[in-house]
Structure 1
Amino acid sequence: MKIAVPQVTVSWEAAHAAVEAAVRKAEALGVRINVGVADTAGNLVAFLRMPGAFPQSISIAIDKAYTAGGFGFPTGDWMKVVGDNEGMKLGFSAQPRLIVFGGGLPIRVDGQLVGGIGVSGASEEQDGLCARAGLLAIGADDVGEPG
């Protein structure tokens, strides 16, 4: 019986580079965002808030990172995952910290899940573009165009 197993996680250096890249993308888009990176357990590793970004979006960005990092798929894919199952739709959307709309992306390295990035404060599409910029900046697996 194994008592302990090694765990791979996003580094603080990569997390900080990812949030900075997301903010740079937001600047290019002319929007203000909050962005967080979490490990697969949902622990916050890095966070940035642009001046003027909605303070209410702070927890949403962190929770998007928590959701994408824990489940391993984009937050915008939740409705596709649950399909027509109304019980799952209601049940999952009622869970604290679980976000079921776009702007959160898993961080994978060579297919291995190491965390999640979450962006909030702009449109769902713009949040996704900023999150993807964070992935690309650190060389994480690309999830493709959000949406």
Structure 2
Amino acid sequence: MKTMRVLALEDARRMAAAAESEARQNGWNVSIAICDAGGYPIWLQRMDAAPIMSAMVAPDKARACVLSGKPSKVYEDMVNQGRIAALSMPVVPLEGGEPIYDDQQVIGAVGVSGVQAGQDAQVARAGVAALDGADHLHKGRQA
């Protein structure tokens, strides 16, 4: 059996604060969702003036990352390159979701929605980066 680390609420708070800071520095109003390794929400916040629908889309972007182990942009790219069959997959094919890894194993994800796709992803990456250097968690991307 494998031993797997799990995200704690304090981890989610740290990531959400970093993501919110990135959004505020750029004048972006977004929703930020953080989910665990099962794709279930640990954290959801919608900043003032963020689009209402963003609070539904952000958790779906995070869930897509957990299910696939890849950033949600992978699926947006598939659709944009003509592979419309990707629309029938159980993931949201929109950029803005970033997985969180511990020793090459997905332990959760950050999903952001509310601004342009690349901006959503920038905010999500800022959230994930908040765990970099934490002595209890080692982020590493799969090849």
Paired letter, 2:48: P
| CA gap 1:79/1:32 in 2 versus in 1, 3 angstroms | closer
Provide the residue aligned with 1:113 in structure 2.
Answer: 106
Provide the residue aligned with 2:47 in structure 1.
Answer: 50
Deviations along 1:80-99, whole A, 9 cap, x unmatched? 5687654x32421xx4xx21
| CA gap 1:109/1:85 in 2 versus in 1, 3 angstroms | same
Provide the residue aligned with 2:62 in structure 1.
Answer: 65
Q: Secondary structure at the match of 1:138?
A: coil
The alignment's TM-score, normalised by the length of structure 1, stands at 0.81
The alignment's TM-score, normalised by the length of structure 2, stands at 0.83
RMSD: 2.2
In the TM superposition, what is the alpha-carbon distance from 1:6 to its structure 2 partner?
4.8
Q: Determine if the alignment matches structure 1 residue 21 to structure 2 residue 18.
A: yes
Identity, in percent, stands at 28
| CA gap 1:127/1:79 in 2 versus in 1, 3 angstroms | closer
Q: Secondary structure at the match of 1:52?
A: coil
Q: Determine if the alignment matches structure 1 residue 103 to structure 2 residue 100.
A: no
Q: Determine if the alignment matches structure 1 residue 134 to structure 2 residue 127.
A: yes
Q: Secondary structure at the match of 1:26?
A: helix
Deviations along 1:57-112, whole A, 9 cap, x unmatched? 101001111111221100001255687654x32421xx4xx211200010112322
